[in-house]
């Protein structure tokens, strides 16, 4: 359990733990069940950072900086997937061309615009969250964002023919991982927002399912980039949802 948590932690963040654990594809895929716990740790870092920043700085500036902290702590992992996914959708025609564009490490103008827009949306949504529940929102968003990637890996096929990191996840997550991650996420969001937290989980579940079904129809399944994009979209949607439910 601890090995898989540390595997998830090192994959999802820039945090590195000393020691050689000999991580294989099975460990990588199996670690997905614990992704919401890593999301909780990320959320606690953000909430703590926001509290400290809020003491010394205006609220709006603190919100901007805490979103920057999220980008730093996660090493732009999911933003990179989001950018590649946007490029694939914008420039791709058939399945093969879309996948080829998504695999290209270069990003195009659509990806740049997409990154700018989603970061603006995150900042604007966080600014709209009432001050007294900002910390709770910052905890819930990373949890449900990472939970959404587990569901895509567990319930949808890997779209590429060859090997990719996403294949290790889709093969290793499994239904059991999906259930475990859901239980963990449900406990966290219910403890954070009560019954409205479970409503948030349900909304993100529907959004994630639609996301997966769209790409199943478009390219036959999901990839690591698409999982990253789902995380970014789910985080942003959660912050917007908090505004809708509490403002």
Q: Assess whether pLDDT exceeds 90 at residue 66.
A: yes
Q: Assess whether pLDDT exceeds 90 at residue 175.
A: no
Considering the domain boundaries, does residue 18 fall inside one? no
Q: Which domain holds residue 136?
A: 38-246
Spatial separation of the C-alpha atoms in residues 151 and 164, rounded to whole Å: 18
Buried b vs exposed e over 124-153: b needs ≥16 C-beta within 10 Å? ebbbbbeeeebbbbbbbbbbbbbbbbbbbb
Considering the domain boundaries, does residue 67 fall inside one? yes
The per-residue pLDDT for range 5-34, each reduced to its tens digit, is: 998 999 999 998 887 666 666 767 788 999
What average pLDDT does the chain have? 91
Q: How many domains does the chain have?
A: 1
The per-residue pLDDT for range 150-160, each reduced to its tens digit, is: 999 999 988 88
The per-residue pLDDT for range 81-120, each reduced to its tens digit, is: 999 999 999 876 788 888 888 888 888 889 999 999 999 9
Considering the domain boundaries, does residue 76 fall inside one? yes
Considering the domain boundaries, does residue 14 fall inside one? no
Spatial separation of the C-alpha atoms in residues 83 and 108, rounded to whole Å: 8
Considering the domain boundaries, does residue 28 fall inside one? no
Considering the domain boundaries, does residue 2 fall inside one? no
Considering the domain boundaries, does residue 177 fall inside one? yes
Using alpha carbons, select from 67, 65, 41, 40 the residue that is nearest to residue 55.
65
Considering the domain boundaries, does residue 22 fall inside one? no
């Amino acid at each position: 359990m601890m090995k898989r948590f540390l595997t998830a932690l090192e994959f999802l963040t820039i945090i590195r733990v000393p020691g050689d654990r000999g991580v294989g594809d099975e460990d990588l895929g199996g670690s997905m069940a614990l992704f919401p716990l890593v999301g909780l740790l990320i959320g606690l870092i953000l909430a703590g950072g926001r509290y400290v920043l809020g003491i010394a700085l205006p609220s709006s500036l603190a919100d901007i900086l805490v979103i920057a902290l999220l980008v730093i702590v996660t090493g732009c992992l999911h933003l990179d997937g989001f950018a590649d996914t946007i490029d694939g959708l914008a420039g791709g025609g058939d399945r093969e061309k879309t996948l080829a564009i998504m695999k290209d490490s270069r990003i195009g103008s659509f990806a740049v615009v997409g990154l700018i827009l989603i970061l603006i949306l995150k900042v604007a949504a966080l600014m709209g969250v009432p001050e007294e529940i900002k910390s709770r929102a910052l905890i819930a968003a990373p949890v449900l964002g990472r939970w959404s990637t587990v569901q895509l890996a567990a319930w949808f096929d890997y779209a590429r023919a060859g090997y990719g990191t996403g294949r290790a996840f889709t093969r290793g997550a499994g239904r059991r991982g999906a259930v475990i991650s859901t239980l963990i996420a449900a406990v966290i969001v219910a403890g954070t927002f009560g019954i409205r937290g479970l409503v948030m989980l349900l909304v993100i579940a529907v959004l994630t399912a639609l996301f997966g079904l769209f790409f199943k129809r478009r390219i036959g399944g999901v990839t690591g980039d698409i999982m990253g994009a789902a995380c970014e979209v789910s985080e942003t949607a959660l912050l917007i949802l908090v505004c809708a439910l509490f403002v």
